[in-house]
Amino acid sequence: MAASGLQRRVKRGWVWNQFFVLEEYTGLEPLYIGKLHSDMDKGDGSIRYILTGEGAGTTFTIDDGTGDIHAIQRLDREFKSQYVLRAQAMNRQTDRPLEPESQFIVKIQDINDNEPRFVDGPYAAAVPEMSAIGTSVIQLTATDADDPTYGNSARVVYSILEGQPYFSVDAKTGVVRVSLADMDRETRENYTVVIQAKDMGGQLGGLAGTTTVEISLSDINDNPPMFDQRLYQMSVPESAPVGTVVGRIWARDRDTGVNAHTWYSIVDGDGRDTFDVSTDPTRAFGVITVKRPLDFESKVSFTLKVQGANAEAELASRHRGPFTDATIVHVSVEDVDEPPVFQLNSYVLELPEDAEVGTVVRSVSARDPDAANNTVRYSIDKGSDLEKFFYIELTTGALMTLRTLDREELDWHNITVLAMEMNNPSQISSVAVAVRVLDVNDNAPSLSHSLETYVCENAKAGQLVQALTALDLDEPPPGHRFHYSLSDEARNNPNFTLRDNQDNSAWILTRRGGWALRDQTTFFLPVSVQDDGEPVQSSTSTLTIRLCSCDHQGAMLSCDAEAYTLPANLSRGALIAILACIFVLLVLILLSLRTHRKKPYLCDREENVHENIVRYDDEGGGEEDTEAFDIAAMWNPREVHKLRQDMLPEIQSLSRYVPHACVAGPTSGDGSVRGYVLAKLLDADLDPCVPPYDSLQTYAYEGEGSVAESLSSLQSGASNADHEYDYLSDWGPRFKKLAEMYGVLETQSSSPVW
């Protein structure tokens, strides 16, 4: 097969050439590309040509009889630059191939049908202000879809359409550069530049494309900060605490960002030690603050020279400096009414506990710091001295004692002293005063253990009975030193002796042997303890020593003497009979007491008992007088002590012990009877089951100081016989009645035996 234009034969069966065709054919007829011909073709129509491959049948067609190839569609090189086709010559009759299949290429020739394009446009760029001429800003690239290897269709040339005289563009490379010196951002910041790209080397008839570049000038530090004011006037009250903001100043900088950051400092002035300046977080403002406490009375105004500065310009050759500026700040201190000021921030005082009431501890004084110097008045905060141990003089501030101090009860007193301006009570200040109570030797030592012990019946002479130690509430600086001894009346005690060990302890030792329970079971030994303080304090305690039966190891078995006087052959039945008799007697006694009681002892809160106590001192009507009065008059007519169930008794340590003399009768003295009755009344007052309105009628105590002399039936022999009362002879039944009303009579009778 060979192309129709070739005259030379080749050995191959196909004679053909590479085909070329221009793109963008716009004719009405199919575009002839070329012809295929086989040397076996005799022209008789016996050969049929077949075309296969890329675009066969759709883009390209072949005349199967002549072999002519046509393009039936518009070709675009930018879409596809060449097509690979295959040709086959077939016998039309037998449909067999006459030659092997051959391949050929159809190339599309380029024409200038595409303009240059800026794929990444439009563009944005920045360049520092004050940049030199020729400084590169950005490089632009335009692409042309035409064939760069064929003609000038794809050769692009750049030019600037807008943006002169500030910027220019390189015609070959597309680099945009600065073309004007000293461009100032503070004058103009943004520029719009239009760049054109034209193919065909820029010749006439070439295609062109354009793009836009937005160029902004970036800031450099080429402007110094400038204060808006040459003088700032500020004021602050003298009571302003440290750190208070006085005011703000601003040094304006035309630069932006970090180039406009300004740091402030005080460089001169008489207020450099009193005020401070700092830069706020935005790095724009200076903040004036109080550095030290202010005092209007000391200084009323201050002057500050404040400087604002930032970094130097980046362009050293174009340094326009200086990049600092200064201003004057005048600060006035305003007077305020201040509270009094104490001489010290706190006071620690010492005072011995034996100081007399009214002793001046110290003068806690304060003054008015204002120029008016108002008078100051003093007082003690009630909440700090609830028990009122101290008093402060109103005008002088002298702190003195109001009560007796006791270190053992409270060794530190923490009080708060208040100072107030007389002309302005709202101005109050306070100070803490700590008073330490110093110890004096005002407490006697005492034995620190139980005052009861025992000695075995089989004890020998010189045997240890009890080891003694003592306690002292005082705290002498060198430490306690105790001395032990027997009281004078027991110095010659035949049974026991005391040994002082000289180490703050002592021993009680037996002086003899041969002890017997049947002779004596209890011994009382008075022991004296003395300290070595100044003054010397001592106390005497009675040690009760019981004689007991012990085993061979010294362990106590029994201390009852009766157990050793019973017959040895007493049977168990006899013991049971004795106990039964005792039980029957107790039951009878209890029943007898119940029958003599007028009312049962029931805790009835609703019962309202109104018995009366008649004070005989007022010469009343005796038993017919029903006007009640305070029972405390029986204790002493001149002293009134209300012992009521609904009131706190003032006698807080009234003993339940009744002396033996009280049992003997009224002849023993009215003091004993009075003590016993008061003890019983106190028991009733403290008993929640006793009605709240108890009273008692008795005439055993006449009273004293009667203005009408004695008219009592107890001492007047001229009394009316119809109203003669034998109180002395009738005292026994009346005393029994009192015992029935207030409980079983408690008595105790013992005599100390050594």
Q: Residue 729 — pLDDT band, cuts 50, 70, 90?
A: very low
The whole-angstrom separation of Cα 89 and Cα 67 is 9
pLDDT at 436 over 90: yes
**Are both 14-109 and 123-218 of the same fold?**
yes
Maximum mean pLDDT: which of 42-51, 81-90, 281-290, 314-323: 281-290
User: Residues 168, 158: contact at Cβ < 8 Å?
Assistant: no
Decide if domain 446-564 falls under CATH 2.60.40.60.
yes
Handedness of CA 434, 435, 439, 443 (dihedral sign): negative
Q: Give the pLDDT of residue 370.
A: 79
Residue 17: its pLDDT value, please?
A: 53
Predicted confidence (pLDDT) per residue in 529-551, tens digit: 988 888 898 999 999 999 999 98
Residue 613 near residue 696, CB atoms below 8 Å: yes
Residue 431 clears pLDDT 80, i.e. is over it: yes
Q: Pick from 459-468, 727-736, 739-748 the range whose average pLDDT is largest.
A: 459-468
478-515 pLDDT, tens digit each: 778 899 999 888 888 889 999 999 998 999 999 998 89
Query: Which is more confident, 263 or 98?
Result: 263
Q: Residues of the chain with pLDDT > 90: what percent? A: 34
pLDDT band (50, 70, 90) for residue 557: confident
Place of tokens 């004719």: 27
Q: Are 478 and 527 in contact (CB under 8 A)?
A: no
Lowest mean pLDDT among 172-181, 304-313, 391-400: 304-313
pLDDT band at 188 (very low <50, low <70, confident <90, very high): very high
Domain ranges of the chain: 14-109, 123-218, 226-334, 341-438, 446-564, 567-596, 598-707+731-754
Cα 637 off chain centre by: 62
Q: What is the pLDDT of residues 138-149, one digit of tens each?
A: 999 998 877 777
Q: What is the largest CA-CA distance in the chain?
A: 198
pLDDT bucket at 11, cuts 50 / 70 / 90? very low
Residue 251 has a CB neighbour count (10 Å cut-off) of 25
Q: Starting at the edge strand that comes first in sequence, how are the strands of the sheet with 231-237 ordered?
A: 231-237, 324-334, 301-309, 263-268
Q: What is the pLDDT of residue 289?
A: 96
Architecture field, domain 341-438:
Sandwich (2.60)
Residue 44 is encoded by which pair of tokens? 């008789």
pLDDT band at 449 (very low <50, low <70, confident <90, very high): confident
More confident residue, 41 or 604: 41
Phi–psi pair at 51, nearest 5 degrees: -115, 125
The CATH code of the domain at 123-218 is 2.60.40.60
Q: State the pLDDT confidence band at 707, using cuts at 50, 70 and 90.
A: low
Q: Which residue has the tokens 């006697």?
A: 444
The span from the CA of 366 to the CA of 382, in Å, is 19
Strand partners, 50: 88
Domain 14-109 has CATH 2.60.40.420: no
What is the per-residue pLDDT for 20?
Answer: 75
pLDDT digits (tens, 9 = 90+) for 644-660: 334 333 333 333 333 33
Question: How is the beta sheet containing 68-71 ordered, strand by strand?
Answer: 31-35, 68-71, 60-62
Q: Which whole-number Å values give the CA distances from 32 to 61, 68, 69, 388, 542, in the listed order? A: 10, 8, 6, 132, 153
As a residue count, the chain comes to 754
Task: Name the pLDDT band for 595 (thresholds 50, 70, 90).
Answer: low
- Segment 321-341 mean pLDDT: 89
Out of 1.10.630.10, 3.40.50.1820, 2.60.40.60, 3.90.550.10, the CATH code matching 226-334 is 2.60.40.60
- 354 contacts 438 by C-beta, under 8 angstroms: no
Lowest-confidence segment of 25-39, 101-115, 704-718 by average pLDDT? 704-718
| Residues of the chain above pLDDT 70, percent | 72
